[in-house]
């Protein structure tokens, strides 16, 4: 299987309700997600990320378009396409009376996993809930509930795991546990799709990224190419005090940082760092220290979602 997910012309309009007008949340999304990848779906609040994920999960009905999961068309083969995917939702929705163990058993039952093929104890260990296996869900902390949601998404050993804002508002331990598990599952061959607000996290975790804004995919690229899109590098200089700069080539911006250092941003496609440093030295400006900064995903994201 080369493509884990194929989405063509996907549209979703939520119907008007009371005073709220109808809302077109997805406006014709085309997206292919390669199997074996860790794919990041990014976008500002309200962009349509959860709508897309909930359609993949079968929790929201699409208005039109085609969704193929692991080669199965969602409309023609709903059972097979559902079996291929496990979703850890953004919302904490759980039955307060089930223990983690019971909750996993019920979920396995819903997916028709035979008793002999269940891996409840392994899953509890995987997410660090072995000690709480028999506690009531209502007595679990928020972090433990999230761990349980991850385990629930995995009961039927799906080929594709989808995580919707898994680390929003969670503590550092849980975040590390989540990413360690995601990496491990991916190494074992699972395709991972995640949304996150933390762009640094996406930059570190994802091979490929799509940015969605106002219900449309504005870009989809591998992470490295996406980062090289922004034609700007920054030299941060310690000039030992205020300095009057010589005229610099067109396209070069300068800014004095609060710490007194001078930041010079230039387009690496047209200029080299040594040309800028030579110009400064030529004007008699001392350069006591130099650091360089690369653009990060935040810069690209801001540029693409400004509208
Ligand atoms: P994201 O996950 O990127 O923040 P969502 O998919 O949750 O975005 O929402 C996309 C848009 O659809 C938003 O304008 C949101 O208010 C709207 N929306 C989401 N769910 C519903 C719903 N159940 N009914 C009506 N509008 C909704
Ligand atoms: Mg969301």
Alpha carbons 40 and 199: distance in angstroms, whole number: 10
Q: Is 140's pLDDT higher than 70?
A: yes
Same domain, 72 and 87: yes
Residue closest via CA to ligand 1's atom 22 equals 14
What is the domain count for the chain?
2
- If asked whether residues 156 and 246 sit together in one domain, one would say no
Listed range (51-60, 63-72, 241-250) with the worst mean pLDDT: 241-250
What DSSP line would sit under 137-158, residue for residue? GGGS-HHHHHHHHHHHHHTT--
Domain end residue (candidates: 208, 227, 246): 227
Give the helix/strand (H/E) hosting 275.
Answer: helix 273-282
Let me know whether 213 and 258 are in one domain: no
Predicted confidence at residue 236, as pLDDT, reads 94
| Number of the ligand closest to the Cα of 45 | 1
Last residue of a domain, one of 227, 257, 287: 227
Q: Place 76 in a pLDDT band, splitting at 50, 70 and 90.
A: very high
Asked if residue 293 and residue 190 are part of one domain, the reply reads no
Give the CATH number of the domain where residue 55 resides.
3.40.50.300
Beta bridge partners of 263: 236, 255
What does the mean pLDDT of the chain come to?
A: 91
Contacts 24+ apart (CB under 8 A), 111-116: 111/83, 111/155, 111/156, 112/156, 113/155, 113/156
* Atom 12 of ligand 1: nearest residue by CA position: 25
Task: Choose one of 227, 246, 271: the last residue of a domain.
Answer: 227
Same domain for 157 and 111? yes
Together in a domain, 113 and 248: no
Q: Give the per-residue pLDDT at 121.
A: 97
- Gap between the Cα atoms of 239 and 244, Å rounded: 10
Task: State if residue 23 touches ligand 1 by the CB under 6 angstroms criterion.
Answer: yes
CA of 180 to the centre of ligand 2 (A): 23
Examine the domain organization and report whether 218 and 240 are in the same domain.
Answer: no
Indicate the pLDDT class of residue 79, thresholds 50, 70 and 90: very high
Confidence check: pLDDT of 68 > 80: yes
CA angle 135, 139, 141 (to 5 degrees): 110
What is the residue range of 249's domain? Answer: 233-305
Instruction: Give the ligand with the smallest distance to the CA of 46.
Output: 1
Query: Does one domain contain both 291 and 217?
Result: no
Q: What angle do CA 113, 79, 99 make, to 5 degrees?
A: 40
For ligand 1, atom 5, name the residue with the nearest CA: 48
Same domain assignment for residues 100 and 204: yes
179 Cβ contact list (under 8 Å, min separation 6): 167, 201, 205
The answer to whether the CB of 238 falls within 8 A of the CB of 306 is no
State the pLDDT at residue 304: 82
Q: Is 47 in the pocket of ligand 1 (CB under 6 A)?
A: yes
Asked if residues 257 and 236 have their Cβ atoms less than 8 Å apart, the reply is yes
- Calculate how far, in angstroms, residue 40's C-alpha sits from the geometric centre of ligand 1: 18
Looking at the fold, whether 241 and 167 belong to one and the same domain comes out as no
Q: Verify whether ligand 1 is closer than 6 Å to residue 215 (CB atom).
A: no
Cβ neighbours for 6, distance < 8 A, ≥ 6 positions apart: 31, 32, 33, 66, 67, 68
Q: Distance between CA atoms of 297 and 167, rounded to whole angstroms?
A: 18
* Shared-domain flag, residues 65 and 118: yes
Residue scoring higher pLDDT (239 or 307): 239
The string of pLDDT tens digits covering residues 220-236 is 999 888 877 777 889 99
* Ligand 1 pocket, residue 51 CB under 6 Å: yes
For residues 95 and 188, state if they share a domain. Answer: yes
What's the average model confidence in pLDDT over 19-33? 96
pLDDT in tens, 81-131: 999 999 998 887 777 788 999 999 999 999 999 999 999 999 999 999 999
307 has a pLDDT exceeding 70? no
């Amino acid at each position: 299987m080369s493509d884990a997910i194929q989405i063509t012309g996907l549209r979703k309009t939520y119907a008007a309700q009371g005073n709220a007008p109808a809302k077109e949340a997805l406006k014709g999304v085309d997206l292919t997600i390669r199997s074996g990848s860790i794919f990041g779906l990014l976008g500002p609040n309200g962009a349509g990320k959860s709508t897309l994920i909930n359609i993949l999960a079968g929790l929201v009905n699409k208005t039109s378009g085609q969704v193929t999961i692991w080669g199965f068309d969602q409309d023609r083969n709903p059972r097979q396409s559902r079996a291929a995917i496990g979703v850890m939702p953004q919302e904490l929705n759980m039955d307060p009376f089930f223990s983690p163990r019971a909750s996993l058993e019920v979920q396995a039952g819903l997916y028709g996993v035979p008793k002999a093929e269940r891996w409840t104890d392994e899953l509890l260990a995987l997410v660090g809930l072995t000690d709480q296996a028999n506690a009531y869900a209502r007595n679990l902390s928020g972090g433990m509930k999230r761990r349980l949601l991850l385990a629930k998404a995995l009961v039927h050993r799906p080929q594709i795991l989808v995580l919707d804002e898994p680390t929003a508002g969670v503590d550092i331990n849980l975040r590390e546990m989540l990413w360690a598990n995601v990496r491990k599952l991916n190494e074992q061959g699972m395709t991972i799709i995640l949304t996150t607000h933390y762009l640094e996290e996406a930059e570190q975790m994802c091979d490929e990224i799509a940015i969605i804004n106002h219900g449309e995919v504005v870009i989809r690229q591998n992470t490295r190419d996406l980062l090289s899109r922004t034609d700007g590098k920054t030299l941060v200089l310690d000039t030992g005090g205020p300095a009057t700069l010589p005229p610099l080539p067109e396209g070069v911006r300068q800014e004095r940082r609060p710490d007194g250092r001078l930041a010079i941003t230039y387009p690496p496609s047209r200029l080299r760092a040594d040309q800028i440093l030579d110009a400064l030295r030529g004007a008699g400006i001392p350069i006591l220290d130099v650091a360089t900064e690369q653009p990060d995903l935040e810069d690209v994201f801001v540029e693409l979602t400004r509208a």
